[in-house]
Structure 1
Amino acid sequence: MSIWLINDSPRFSKTVRSMLELRQQLQLYLRCNVGDGRTALFWYDYWTDLGPLYTLFGNSGPTSLRIPLNANVSEAVCDGHWRLPAARSENAETLQVVLSTMSVPCDANGSDVYLSRINSGGFGASFSSNVTWERLRNPNPRVHWHPVVWFKEEIPRCSFITWTVFLNRLPTRDRLISWGLTLPPGCVLCSDADESHSHLFFECSFAAVVWNRYCGRFLASPPSYVAAVVDLSHQLQGPHGPRVVAVLKLLNQVIIYNLWRERNARIFRSVSLTQEAFFKVVDRCMRDRLLSLQSLTAVSPSLLELYFWFVSPYS
């Protein structure tokens, strides 16, 4: 009784439907050339022009054709001929017509061969996971800001937080309130405005002070929103342009990451850093990362030297 209840549950039925839909989708990328018929599944494999026969006949197929649900194609053959009962439906008649145009499986034909979709759209014996993935997925437009998030000099933990900021998916207070939570909306870093992605990382006076410390040789003014860093990375030119941009992108990630940490520390641990202490955390993180990269290249000036050029002489 318990098994019956489980199998009859909506969740079980939904799982079965999902598995059948997945199988049907995969059949669009697989074909089977029948040889001896001992491997190809009669009901589930795409071995005739009619597609998987289970899709055509449904649950009544094994009964009407007298072929078990788990049968191989070879089990539909007897003494060198197709072993099917007299057609009693239009689908059964169509199947018999199609089978009459196909060679009967036998040992002389060799083993069954599965074919997969190739790049040209046809089918071949070699399987390409890349081709299959490109045809399975629903591609989205490439985002213009991805080089600011993923680049060679990145720090993975900082990249992840920056990526989430670009997607506007961090649980800032404005988002939590929109979900129905009751909590104060104010920014815990400055208390001057409501907390949001744009405010917390760029408009907040606490964040602005940090950014202003880096308005030196390369930045005339700090970025005012997250996408502005993308624009700045395109505007920075000169003989060291690409490497200066790398330092800028790393600096952006380190500041964002540590602002998020500082925000959480004030909310959940009731501890806070002064402006100067926070700047030292950012500075130490930048130096450590750039020092680790310095041995990989002998180009002068080094990334660490370029970072020092970012620091405002008046800070």
Structure 2
Amino acid sequence: MHNSVEERTCKLCSSEAETHDHLFFQCRYSAQVWQTITGRACNHWPSLPWISLLEWTSTRFHRSKNMEDMIGPLLLASSVYHLWQERNSRIFQNNVKSVHTLSEEVHQQMRDLLSNADTRHGITEAIGNIWNISTIATGRRS
């Protein structure tokens, strides 16, 4: 089956061919989301092609029990998930979210994940401040 140029064009920016590298990192929409999220999280990543970034993430955060190191892969997964959902929403439901709205959804999902994290991995005060998670003396998060 032959795909038209329109079918292969990125649904987030409508200007480039849709590839993994473009869709998740190079597209101006996803780049703004990624920049917003990583900046807010104080978590900066190397600028690498998709497959290289996955390999770097896997190597960098391999088997770490440190909560700060666990945030990186969670942040990548959450961002990719939300960008993919936005792409599909635009295709199948003709719904469009702003960069700000999508970034807030990623931030909220990360906040929820960290709020419910196993306390043995240690939510530091710095992590709590970044993600707006208050630590209570009992070890529970709010």
Aligned mate of 2:105, from 281, 298, 301: 281
Q: Which residue of 2 aligns with 1:230?
A: 55
SS in 1 for 2:120: coil
- Judged with a 3 Å threshold, the aligned counterparts in structure 2 of structure 1 residues 266 and 298 are, in CA distance, closer, same or farther, namely closer
CA contact (8 A) 2:11 2:87 kept: yes
CA contact (8 A) 1:243 1:303 kept: no
CA positional deviation for 1:266: 0.6
CA contact (8 A) 1:233 1:248 kept: no
Aligned mate of 1:254, from 78, 83, 90: 78
Q: Which residue of 1 aligns with 2:28?
A: 205
- C-alpha distance in 2, partners of 1:230/1:242? 19
CA contact (8 A) 2:57 2:73 kept: no
Q: Quick check: which one's helix share is greater?
A: 2
CA positional deviation for 1:218: 3.8
- Judged with a 3 Å threshold, the aligned counterparts in structure 2 of structure 1 residues 229 and 253 are, in CA distance, closer, same or farther, namely same
For the pair 1:180 / 2:9, whether they are aligned, the reply is no
CA positional deviation for 1:292: 1.2
- Judged with a 3 Å threshold, the aligned counterparts in structure 2 of structure 1 residues 248 and 293 are, in CA distance, closer, same or farther, namely same
Q: Percent identity?
A: 26
Q: Which gives a bigger RCO, structure 1 or 2 (Cα 8 Å, sep 6+)?
A: 2
- Which consecutive unaligned segments of at least 5 residues does structure 1 have? 1-178, 309-315
CA contact (8 A) 1:203 1:224 kept: no
CA contact (8 A) 1:247 1:307 kept: no
- C-alpha distance in 2, partners of 1:282/1:202? 15
| Mapping 1:50-129, distance limit 5 Å | none
CA contact (8 A) 2:68 2:127 kept: no
- C-alpha distance in 2, partners of 1:277/1:307? 18
Number of positions where the alignment pairs a residue of Structure 1 with one of Structure 2: 126
For the pair 1:292 / 2:109, whether they are aligned, the reply is no
CA contact (8 A) 2:67 2:122 kept: no
Q: Which residue of 2 aligns with 1:245?
A: 69
- C-alpha distance in 2, partners of 1:298/1:234? 19
CA contact (8 A) 1:258 1:282 kept: yes
| Mapping 1:33-52, distance limit 5 Å | none
Runs of 4+ in 1 over 2 A off after TM superposition: 179-183, 215-218, 221-227, 232-236, 240-245, 296-300, 302-308
CA contact (8 A) 1:229 1:249 kept: no
- Which consecutive unaligned segments of at least 5 residues does structure 2 have? 132-142
- C-alpha distance in 1, partners of 2:32/2:88? 19
| Mapping 1:157-176, distance limit 5 Å | none
**Amino acid of the structure 2 residue aligned with 1:207:** S
Q: Which residue of 2 aligns with 1:263?
A: 87
- C-alpha distance in 1, partners of 2:49/2:92? 26
CA contact (8 A) 1:291 1:304 kept: no
For the pair 1:195 / 2:22, whether they are aligned, the reply is no
- Judged with a 3 Å threshold, the aligned counterparts in structure 2 of structure 1 residues 223 and 249 are, in CA distance, closer, same or farther, namely farther
